[in-house]
């Protein structure tokens, strides 16, 4: 496959050739049109004036001498002819002789018109432009005035310079081609850089970047490429991190289960502690199950393309149900759930998903609240949306972690492990679900004072 | 104006009518009508003119005839250098009598009254061939390069080889070559003078150098008797009962010489004339370039008659 630069070079070279050829033809044409035409006009003018020297009768020696005399001072070749042999006077007879003028020209001259010829003349053995004017008296062609001028082709005109002309045209082509080659290479360099970078990318080197020097199309393409490479790299890293996290999260419960069950098998655990150990194994297995379920749910949601159908739901009812479900869990930590909801709020949502969102958030609030505190749940209308606020008085989230809490497996307290029971996926799931329900989440928090989570959901249009 | 138009339309009708006629018959010429006919070769036609200078008939041809001769009183033979047949027409009917296949390259035809034969020279085969009046071939003889001008006297036929340097003298009956005389190249035009036992020939001249003399030869031996200055390019020679008429086309000159070769008088006439003939009291000269016949009497042009383009030969019939 030929490179684009080669193709452009060939194209420009072809255009150059055409231009040079065109210039040559044009020059030739102009030479024919202007120079030849000009010469012809001048010859006719001179000839017509000389014609007036002839009055009537035979063409005299004096007349011929006069013409000759004039010719000596003219740059044209002029002579007068009176020999009837030269004038094709014997035409009805077969003549084995090349006459100066032919039978047709004789007819034209007899009619008093001048004859002009451009082309090779055997008599003079070269290309000529010639004008022949008649000397006519009473229908008799007594003689002619013959004027000619050698017709040199433009190349012949240059004669010695013709080689110079061709050589310089050749050198011109070479130099211009070289410059164009250089120019194209300069223009094409970012493109070939880009091509190399893409190649590197395809090998998996996502760190590849191209330098951006210009703001033209290629420059824009380069910077777009860089952005794309950045995005791919991030995605790649996120993928790796995710995999690492998932394996880590799964490995911990598995080693628990494995360790305790082996211990039971080898009778290391005293009989009175066995019950407790088995409970531990069950708990860890549950955790594992929950983790995998949540991962599965998350993966499914991300792949879910189909539109889910939303329908009107009375918000207050749903919130009360959730409160009922979680009351038991809250009581364990002696936390009270306060619910203050506008009964008139009808939102557009899907019930199961809505419940899961609220449960996840309230569970979080309970988990990170101090004992004997409270969680306040309110729902009001705000700007055509239902705004659900869940406020706790717990440990809060540090400012630097706030923007990451919806990322998968992100934990504010990394050292805390599984003691608080979270998988690190809860808020991720909430975010995904809200996306499906056209909702928004806004989290504000203050360490040691508590967290406020605001959820906006679209109201049913009247 | 109206007259002009009428004339124009009349001419047009006449041309169409005549052109339409060529295939069938041409305008007939009465048997007792004297005429001088001009064969015009640029646009082949034959103009018949009476002694008053009136054009009595015009025959237009669509064949490229380059020459014509009268065969006796009522027939005219037409030939062409590029044609492969000769045509004979009857004047009194205007109809074609017969056509005869010949080789392309006919340069001249010559009729000998007392033999009732005509002779045709050919430049491609370089031959002369004799025919009887019905067009039957009698004899053929190979000659020099480009035989053309012919004249007969008694039982001899004199033929000039135009692109050669010899004149062939033949026996008129069997066409055997009896003598060959050295002459100049490009010779053309013969006059035989029994009175002085001489043969005069004219010519164009060789190459770019034009000839300006008529040369005299002994009719029996071919010995050159001298030359007469008649510039420039005397090619049309006609003998009358008391003089020799010569036209030099290079200087548009008519020379009238006595039998001794003295120029009695001369006249500049016509444009590029190739032929001269006697018709009644007139000397008639045909101008090739100005397509005009000049009727000359007493050394002066008495009248002129316009004829077709390229008047090249004159045929005279008078009782």
SS3 letters across A159-195: CCHHHHHHHHHHHHHHHHHHHHHHHHHHHHHHHHHHH
A83: nearest CB among B210, B235, B252: B210
Flag the least confident range among A212-221, B31-40, B273-282. Answer: A212-221
Which positions in chain A touch B207 (Cβ < 8 Å)? 85, 97
CA distance A315 to A347: 6
* Reported confidence tier of residue B149, pLDDT bands at 50, 70, 90: very high
Kindly tell me if the per-residue pLDDT of B18 is higher than 60.
no
Q: Do A86 and B66 touch (CB under 8 A)?
A: no
CA distance A71 to B318: 55
Residue with tokens 């045929």: B315
Q: Give me the residues paired with residue A362 across strands.
A: none
pLDDT for residue A135: 94
Tokens of A406: 């919806």
Question: Average pLDDT for residues B105-110, to the nearest whole number?
Answer: 95
Planar angle of CA B160, B162, B164, nearest 5 degrees: 95
pLDDT for residue A156: 60
Q: Give me the residues paired with residue A369 across strands.
A: A394
Which positions in chain B touch A96 (Cβ < 8 Å)? 163
Flag the least confident range among A2-16, A258-272, B116-130, B160-174. Answer: A2-16
**Among chain A residues, CA nearest to B207:** A97
B272 touches chain A (CB under 8 A): yes
pLDDT for residue B21: 47
Q: What's the gap in Å between the CA of B159 and the closest CA on chain A?
A: 16
Question: Higher pLDDT residue, A169 or B181?
Answer: B181
ipTM of the complex: 0.82
pLDDT for residue A462: 65
Which positions in chain B touch A144 (Cβ < 8 Å)? none
Q: Do B210 and A58 touch (CB under 8 A)?
A: no
Q: Do B289 and A58 touch (CB under 8 A)?
A: no
pLDDT for residue A369: 87
Work out whether the CA dihedral A411, A416, A418, A419 comes out positive or negative.
negative
Q: What's the gap in Å between the CA of B202 and the closest CA on chain A?
A: 13
Answer yes or no: are the C-beta atoms of B215 and B248 closer than 8 Å. no
Helix (H, G, I), strand (E, B) or coil at B138: strand
A278: enclosing H helix or E strand: helix A271-303
Which positions in chain B touch A84 (Cβ < 8 Å)? 210, 232-233, 249-251, 272
- DSSP 8-class letter at A369: B
pLDDT for residue B240: 94
pLDDT for residue A422: 64
Which pTM was predicted? 0.61
pLDDT tens-digit readout, B238-259: 999 999 999 999 999 999 999 9
Residues 6+ apart with CB under 8 A from B100: B85, B86, B88, B131, B135
Which positions in chain B touch A90 (Cβ < 8 Å)? 204, 233, 249
Q: Taking CB atoms and an 8 Å cut-off, how many pairs form between chains A and B? A: 63
Kindly tell me if the per-residue pLDDT of B261 is higher than 90.
yes
Which of B121, B115, B129, B113 is closest to B75 using CA atoms? B113
Best residue of A82, A87, A96 to probe chain B, by most B CBs closer than 10 Å: A96
Q: Do B252 and A140 touch (CB under 8 A)?
A: yes
Rg (CA), chain B: 19
Q: For A230-236, which contacts have Cβ atoms below 8 Å and span 24 or more sequence positions?
A: A232/A201, A232/A206, A233/A206, A233/A207, A236/A206
CA distance B49 to A309: 121
Per-residue pLDDT for chain A (462 aa), expressed as one digit of tens each? 467 778 888 888 888 889 888 988 888 788 777 888 888 899 999 999 999 999 988 899 999 999 999 999 988 899 999 988 888 888 888 877 788 888 899 999 999 999 998 888 888 888 888 999 999 998 899 999 999 988 776 556 556 666 777 788 889 888 988 898 888 888 888 888 888 899 998 898 888 888 888 888 888 888 999 999 999 998 888 888 888 878 887 888 888 888 888 888 888 888 888 888 888 888 888 888 888 888 887 777 777 656 778 889 999 999 999 888 888 888 888 999 899 988 888 998 888 888 889 988 998 888 888 888 899 999 998 888 899 999 999 888 888 888 888 777 777 766 545 455 566 778 888 888 888 888 899 999 888 888 999 999 998 876
Flag the least confident range among A57-61, B88-92, B198-202. Answer: A57-61
**Mean model confidence pLDDT for chain B:** 91
Angle between helices A161-202 and A4-30 (to 10 degrees): 160
* Reported confidence tier of residue B208, pLDDT bands at 50, 70, 90: confident
Kindly tell me if the per-residue pLDDT of B165 is higher than 90.
yes
Q: What's the gap in Å between the CA of B250 and the closest CA on chain A?
A: 6
Kindly tell me if the per-residue pLDDT of B263 is higher than 90.
yes
Tokens of A146: 């013959």
């Amino acid at each position: 496959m030929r490179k684009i630069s080669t193709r452009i070079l060939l194209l420009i070279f072809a255009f150059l050739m055409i231009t040079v050829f065109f210039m040559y033809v044009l020059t030739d044409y102009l030479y024919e049109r202007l120079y030849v035409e000009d010469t012809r006009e001048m010859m006719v003018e001179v000839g017509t004036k000389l014609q007036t020297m002839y009055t009537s009768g035979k063409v005299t020696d004096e007349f011929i001498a006069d013409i000759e005399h004039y010719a000596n001072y003219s740059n044209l070749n002029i002579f007068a002819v009176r020999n009837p042999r030269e004038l094709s006077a014997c035409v009805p007879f077969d003549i084995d002789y090349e006459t100066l003028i032919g039978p047709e020209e004789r007819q034209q001259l007899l009619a008093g018109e001048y004859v002009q010829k451009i082309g090779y003349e055997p008599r003079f053995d070269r290309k000529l432009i010639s004008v022949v004017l008649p000397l006519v008296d009473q229908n008799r062609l007594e003689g002619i005035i013959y004027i000619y001028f050698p017709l040199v082709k433009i190349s012949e005109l240059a004669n010695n310079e013709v080689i110079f002309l061709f050589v310089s045209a050749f050198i011109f082509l070479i130099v211009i081609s070289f410059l164009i080659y250089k120019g194209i290479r300069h223009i094409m360099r970012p493109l070939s850089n880009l091509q190399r970078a893409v190649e590197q990318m395809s090998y998996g080197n996502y760190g590849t970047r191209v330098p951006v020097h210009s703001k033209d199309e290629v420059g824009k393409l380069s910077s777009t490429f860089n952005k794309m490479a950045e995005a791919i790299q991030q995605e790649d890293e996120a993928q790796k991190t995710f995999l690492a996290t998932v394996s880590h999260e799964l490995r911990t419960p598995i080693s628990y289960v494995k360790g305790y069950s082996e211990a039971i098998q080898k009778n290391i655990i005293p009989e009175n502690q066995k019950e407790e150990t088995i409970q531990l194994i069950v708990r860890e297995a549950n955790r594992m199950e929950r983790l995998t379920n949540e991962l599965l749910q998350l993966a499914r949601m991300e792949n879910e393309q189909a539109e889910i159908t939303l329908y009107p739901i009375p918000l207050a009812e749903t919130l009360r149900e959730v409160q009922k479900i979680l009351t038991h869990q809250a009581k364990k930590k002696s936390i009270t759930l306060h619910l203050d909801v506008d009964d008139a709020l009808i939102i557009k949502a899907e019930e199961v998903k809505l419940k899961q969102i609220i449960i996840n958030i309230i569970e979080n609030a309970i988990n990170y609240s101090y004992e004997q505190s409270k969680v306040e749940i309110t729902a009001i209308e705000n700007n055509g949306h239902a705004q659900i606020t869940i406020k706790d008085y717990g440990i809060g989230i540090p400012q630097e972690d706030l923007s990451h809490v919806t990322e998968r497996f992100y934990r504010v307290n990394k050292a805390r492990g599984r003691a608080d029971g979270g998988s690190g996926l809860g808020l991720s799931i909430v975010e995904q679900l809200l996306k499906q329900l056209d909702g928004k989440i806004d989290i504000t928090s203050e360490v040691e004072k508590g967290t406020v989570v605001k959820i906006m959901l679209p109201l049913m249009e009247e | 104006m109206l007259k002009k138009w009428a004339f124009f339309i009349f001419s047009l009708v006449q041309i169409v009518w005549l052109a339409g006629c060529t295939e069938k018959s041409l305008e007939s010429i009465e048997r007792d009508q004297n005429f001088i006919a001009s064969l015009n070769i640029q646009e082949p036609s034959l103009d018949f003119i009476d002694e008053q200078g009136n054009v009595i008939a015009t025959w237009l041809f669509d064949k490229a005839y380059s020459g014509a001769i009268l065969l006796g009183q009522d027939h005219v033979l037409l030939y062409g250098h590029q044609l492969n047949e000769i045509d004979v027409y009857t004047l009194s009917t205007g109809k074609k009598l017969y056509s005869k296949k010949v080789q392309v390259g006919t340069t001249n035809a010559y009729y000998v009254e007392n033999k009732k034969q005509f002779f045709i020279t050919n430049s491609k085969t370089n031959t002369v061939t004799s025919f009887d009046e019905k067009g039957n071939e009698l004899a053929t003889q190979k000659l020099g390069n480009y035989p053309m001008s012919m004249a007969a006297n008694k039982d001899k036929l004199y033929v000039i080889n135009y692109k050669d340097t010899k004149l062939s003298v033949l026996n008129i009956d069997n066409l055997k070559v009896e003598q060959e005389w050295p002459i100049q190249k490009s010779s053309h035009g013969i006059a035989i003078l029994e009175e002085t036992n001489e043969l005069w020939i004219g010519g164009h001249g060789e190459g770019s150098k034009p000839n300006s003399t008529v040369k005299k030869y002994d009719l029996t031996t071919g010995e050159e008797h001298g030359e007469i200055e008649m510039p420039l390019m005397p090619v049309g020679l006609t003998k009358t009962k008391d003089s020799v008429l010569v036209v030099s086309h290079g200087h548009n000159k008519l020379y009238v010489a006595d039998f001794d070769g003295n120029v009695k008088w001369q006249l500049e006439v016509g444009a590029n004339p190739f032929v001269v003939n006697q018709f009644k009291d007139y000397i008639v000269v045909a101008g090739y370039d100005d397509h005009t016949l000049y009727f000359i009497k007493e050394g002066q042009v008495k009248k002129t008659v316009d004829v077709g383009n390229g008047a090249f030969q004159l045929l005279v019939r008078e009782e």
